[in-house]
Structure 1
Amino acid sequence: MTGFLILAFLILLAGVVAVPLATRFGLGSVLGYLLAGMAISPLLSALRVNVEALQSFAEFGVVMMLFIIGLELEPKKLWAMRRRLIGLGGGQVVLTTLVLAGIVLAYGVRWETALAIGMILAVSSTAIVLQSLEEKGMLKSDGGEASFSVLLMQDVAVIPMLAILPLLAVGGVGTGAASAGHGDELNLVANLPTWLSGVVTLAAIGLVVFVGAYLVRPVFRFIAMAQLRELFTAVALVFVIGIALLMSFVGLSPALGTFLAGVVLANSEYRHELESDIGPFKGLLLGVFFITVGAGINFPLAMEHFGEVLFWAALLITAKIAVLLVIARFAGIRRQMAWLFALSLAQAGEFAFVLISFAVGNRVFGQDTADMLLLVVSLTMLTTPLLFILYDKVIARAYCGGKEPVADAIDEENPVIVAGRGRVGGIVARMLQAAGFAITVIDYDSEHLELVRKLGYRTYFGDATRPDLLHAAGINHARLLVVALDEREQIDKLVKYAVANCPNLHVLARAKDRNHVYELWSYGCRDIVRETYDSSLRMGRSAFEALGIDHQQAMAMSDAFEEMDRTSMREVANLYDANVPPSRNEPLLAKVRELRQEWDPVLRAQMEDIIHRTR
């Protein structure tokens, strides 16, 4: 028990210290976890911790991550992705395998070994790529969706790879187990005829679909009767673990099985409940997985063959980027999205550890080759966050053109300046123009502006946070600045500048959430609109009407709630401290509790009075 507590303490402490520091310096959480693992590697060795066994356990975080991603994909959307899955994903696996095998073959390695190495290194890291894309909000972009399609197809491709690898053994005959590198695992189809193995596998997939479609809802309704939150969490874990176990029994990827279950449940009313219950476990296990990757690096061997490992890692990343850029061109992925697609998938993946172990067990190559491959895979995984930084700092800014885009020259000064013409700013701009106000609109999305201009709207291309551009637009003489940018950091930067340098300017700012309202208030902005607030009020109003309250009553009740919320929010905003997280700001928390005790009974009385008054 003591040994387990020491291990848990070390891993959690390393993550808690390293991740905030890495995030603070713009390195991302994934690189923080990897560095944390490298830092505690000597301690784990001294404690004789089996890092590989710990990594196998932590890989369940990948399984949970694919389940949650599946919950976000409706079956119709997945069907719509079929061309990308087969074209992008299948093309990437086959072409990358052949290119890498050709490179290895050129160094005098036998073709069977070269082909095995090509297959192993063709697969990218699902965990690192999806986590990084999700953190940066790029998973839904064209490049992010293309990357997801390839990663999903790679998970499927691991299955035929496990069948092919034993055929590449010395002498053509493999001797290892037929499972994914874990000979002690129970595999129900290992000794069955091929046709019967296929039937059992299809039956297992059908069972997953049946459970997701017909059993989950009744089970959750039954659990809801107990009104215990922990039971929901337990059932969610049982559901995910059970499906992963079933997939392992039939020799399939547990991640693939849980992803399929997530897709089946994408339209379920319990989708958000499942996400909230599984999310914390997913995040924690993924963090432990990345730490074990960092801790599993063989540093003595890496130092002894540093130049060789560095060469092969660089060659692997370069070759995969080249292949991915070619595939992106044929798939119609252009400009910075093509680079996002190529850079995000340039590493080897966590499945490589499983495939390497499986190949050694089946005598495809020796342990010396396996050790070198493990170092190359680990180094490329460590490099991935740096490639994302390269994309953010260089490629995205240059729009793949090699230089910073030139902003439009603004040749007019209007009383209203709108920064950002996206989902929010576009509607505001149209309303103002419809009312006859002269406005100057600035936006940094060149592709979106091209469409807007074709529709007849005059918009200037440029970074609205740049002081020189704001002065060219006449900010010193303007009456109103509407800040409708998408990025929170850009909103903060522009609001700070405008409030500090233009005291007579009315600043109307878009806020991402409640805490962002407090932050903008602390900068001196006094006209702030939460981007989802009005739609939430409208949904609440519709909920009242759905419960039998007439339209006028629902409007009055919604207005009462809005007035209370705005008044209390101003009081709380005055206690906000940008240097202290809201969860640790005791004066702010105390004020919220005080206002709830004061306002909740008043609001309830107002609501009841409205209902009785109109009856």
Structure 2
Amino acid sequence: MFNPTHLAAVSVETSNTFILTAVLLTLTVVYLASKLGGAVCSRLGLPEVLGELLGGVLVGISALHVVIFPEQGVTAADSSIIALLELTSDLTDQGAGVVFQTQAAIIDLLSEIGVVVLLLEVGLACNLDELIKIGPKAALVAIAGVATPFSIGALGLIYLFGVAPIPAVFVGAALTATSIGITAKVLSQLGKIATTEGQIIIGAAVLDDILGIILLAVVASLAKTGEVDVVNIGYLVVVASLFLGGAILLGRQYSNWIVRVFGENQGQLLVSALIFALLMSYLASAIGLEALLGAFAAGLILGETTKHKELQQQVMPLAYALVPIFFVTVGARTNIGVLNPLVPENQQGLVIALFLAVAAVISQLAAGYVLPAKDNLNRLAIGIGMIPRGEVALVFAGMGLSSGVLSESLNVSIVVMVIMTTFIAPPLVKWAMSDQRFPPDQGEENNDHGDPVDHAEETANNSKPLEDQGLENQGAGV
């Protein structure tokens, strides 16, 4: 996270020159990695988000050391950007450390803002009526998607690998939370976010994150005291329910009023949406939830306004600019060195990681199939859409390692599991959601798979047609 105390240790000249230069150079590399990686994957018929992740791996800790972060155990001497500045200017070694830490913090902050914009746009693309309608299905998938991997992971580690119960519970918990950003980006690029399957995946992923936060509180308490803080768990359950319920109520009753208060003019609409999204993100964070949940709730509310089409069109360019920073930094943080089996301390972790990755995939596929077959849904696509683990799993790993609960090999296993699920999910989601996998009359009958429908009839029924959402041709942002 951004730490302003770094700025106090550097002169105004350094702050205004070297830090800005380092940030601009880093962003240039980030955007180049995003565009080149996305273009290559697009040529190969793969989702562009996979290219952004791979581009991040290339410029990150595993290769070029352009986008690296102090918490990865590196210093200014390891940064290619700092090396370039020292070569081409009079940046001193003392100033280099401050510039490196501040530049990395700013890129990290922009990345977090990017994912806030991503979830705002996902919320705008969702149909609140449809989300409420599929709410029970999403809840069923989410509960199965948390309980199944947690049970398989924890019990497997205890009985197959002889891991102690508390570390096993910690690792099992890391398997539970779906990375909503990865799946949402792929669904958006495929134009499938408005399908019934897409809505179920998004709804279940949001609930997954809420359940993951609650589970994190449980295992953190268990690790520190050996006991479970029931009061804290109850608090999180209540505030999460009230927050989402309040968002739905606001969306139903006051969404158009909110737009009028913040301003309806063309130039004010985007800023108004950002003010509201950032405010909701702050409120979510202040009550102990993820800030991303607040941005998603803001998108749901604003998606109910008469200005939702204009909002989507105006948020899209902002997403093009900020969302790639998030995905490139995710890739940049991926240290593929942990995949080297020749390093002794990696070997046990790799074996456990393979078990965890298989458990994550199988359990999420099973979560998709808890839905009744009579619903005639693409249950395979729903299960695959829930596969990618993400930043929440890494939060579990970091907390477990810093607290001493997790050994180095268990920490490596979580990191490798996240790498595997993050990179295999996008092409699998694209395959599973492909229209060619369904008979021509199936989508027309159920309108579940994005096939052509009567949009005039949809509009008459107060729903939001897919082309109104401006998502079909979107590439870099949701």
TM-score by length of 2: 0.70
In the alignment, what sits opposite 2:86? Answer: none
1:148 equivalent to 2:185? Answer: no
2:113–2:322 Cα contact (<8 Å) kept: yes
2:124 to 63, 71, 79: 71
1:445 equivalent to 2:440? Answer: yes
- Tell me which amino acid in the other structure corresponds to 2:281: A
In the alignment, what sits opposite 1:526? Answer: none
Q: Distance in 2 between matches of 1:390 and 1:350?
A: 24
2:364 to 324, 330, 341: 324
1:357 equivalent to 2:398? Answer: yes
1:347–1:380 Cα contact (<8 Å) kept: yes
Higher strand residue share? 1
1:97 to 131, 146, 150: 150
Deviations 1:440-472 (A, max 9, x none): xxxx52646999xxxxxxxxxxxxxxxxxxxxx
- Tell me which amino acid in the other structure corresponds to 1:297: T
Q: Aligned-pair distance for 1:268?
A: 1.2
2:419 to 361, 378, 392: 378
1:165–1:359 Cα contact (<8 Å) kept: no
Q: Secondary structure at the match of 1:330?
A: coil
In the alignment, what sits opposite 2:385? Answer: 344
2:125–2:193 Cα contact (<8 Å) kept: no
Q: Distance in 2 between matches of 1:196 and 1:36?
A: 41
2:117–2:295 Cα contact (<8 Å) kept: yes
Cα pair distance change 1:320/1:298, threshold 3 Å: closer
1:39 to 58, 64, 67: 58
1:240 to 272, 277, 293: 277
Q: Distance in 2 between matches of 1:324 and 1:202?
A: 24
Q: Secondary structure at the match of 2:370?
A: helix
1:25 equivalent to 2:65? Answer: no
In the alignment, what sits opposite 1:5? Answer: 24
Q: RMSD in angstroms over aligned alpha carbons?
A: 4.0
Deviations 1:289-325 (A, max 9, x none): 1111111122433323676565445433432333334
In the alignment, what sits opposite 2:219? Answer: 165
Deviations 1:543-588 (A, max 9, x none): xxxxxxxxxxxxxxxxxxxxxxxxxxxxxxxxxxxxxxxxxxxxxx
Structure 2 unaligned regions, length at least 5: 1-19, 69-78, 83-99, 461-478
Cα pair distance change 1:36/1:78, threshold 3 Å: same
Q: Distance in 1 between matches of 2:255 and 2:437?
A: 48
Cα pair distance change 1:114/1:292, threshold 3 Å: same
Q: Distance in 2 between matches of 1:321 and 1:354?
A: 20
Q: Secondary structure at the match of 2:42?
A: helix
Q: Distance in 1 between matches of 2:235 and 2:396?
A: 25
Deviations 1:195-232 (A, max 9, x none): 8888887887787668766776456446658x5x4432
- Tell me which amino acid in the other structure corresponds to 2:148: L
Q: Distance in 2 between matches of 1:60 and 1:29?
A: 20
Q: Aligned-pair distance for 1:89?
A: 1.0
Q: Aligned-pair distance for 1:73?
A: 4.0
In the alignment, what sits opposite 1:266? Answer: 303
Paired residues in the alignment total 398
Fraction of identical pairs, as percent: 21
In the alignment, what sits opposite 1:118? Answer: 172
- Tell me which amino acid in the other structure corresponds to 2:318: F
Deviations 1:10-59 (A, max 9, x none): 11122122211211111211111011111112232423656687445413
Q: Distance in 1 between matches of 2:395 and 2:232?
A: 25
Cα pair distance change 1:13/1:76, threshold 3 Å: closer
Structure 1 unaligned regions, length at least 5: 179-191, 400-443, 452-484, 488-511, 513-530, 540-615
Give matches, 1:182-331, under 5 Å: 217-218=256-257, 220-221=259-260, 224=263, 227=265, 229-303=266-340, 304=343, 311-331=351-371
TM-score by length of 1: 0.56
Q: Distance in 2 between matches of 1:281 and 1:332?
A: 39
Cα pair distance change 1:141/1:256, threshold 3 Å: same
Q: Distance in 2 between matches of 1:193 and 1:141?
A: 36
- Tell me which amino acid in the other structure corresponds to 1:68: E
Cα pair distance change 1:197/1:376, threshold 3 Å: closer
- Tell me which amino acid in the other structure corresponds to 2:321: L
Q: Aligned-pair distance for 1:98?
A: 0.5
Deviations 1:479-510 (A, max 9, x none): xxxxxx969xxxxxxxxxxxxxxxxxxxxxxx
- Tell me which amino acid in the other structure corresponds to 1:104: L
Q: Distance in 1 between matches of 2:384 and 2:120?
A: 25
Which is worse superposed, 199-208 or 1-10?
199-208
1:135 equivalent to 2:189? Answer: yes
Q: Aligned-pair distance for 1:97?
A: 0.7
Q: Secondary structure at the match of 1:109?
A: coil
Q: Aligned-pair distance for 1:109?
A: 0.8
1:204–1:250 Cα contact (<8 Å) kept: no
